[in-house]
Amino acid sequence: MSERERKITETIAAAVDNMSDFGKGYLLGMGEAMVMDKKEKAKAGDAKAGEDNEIQR
């Protein structure tokens, strides 16, 4: 983990202590959505690479 990532993690951890349950749920949902989006983009990139290989054949 880089120094910047460590600082981000510490800042979020400190902020969570003062959040409402709604705020915590919102933050969790945003994080989960970001992970899902990244996975979908990676999957789409893999599919696109496969299509490019088919065109070259």
Write down the residue that tokens 């054949």 correspond to.
Answer: 57
Query: What is the spatial distance between Cα 25 and Cα 31, in angstroms, rounded to a whole number?
Result: 10
pLDDT tens-digit readout, 1-20 = 899 999 999 999 999 999 99
Write down the residue that tokens 């979020």 correspond to.
Answer: 12
With CA atoms as reference, report the closest residue to 31 among 6, 11, 12.
12
Query: CA 15: distance to chain centroid?
Result: 19
Q: What is the pTM of this model?
A: 0.66
pLDDT tens-digit readout, 38-57 = 999 999 988 777 666 555 54
CA dist list (Å): 44 to 25, 30, 35, 40, 47: 28, 21, 14, 6, 5
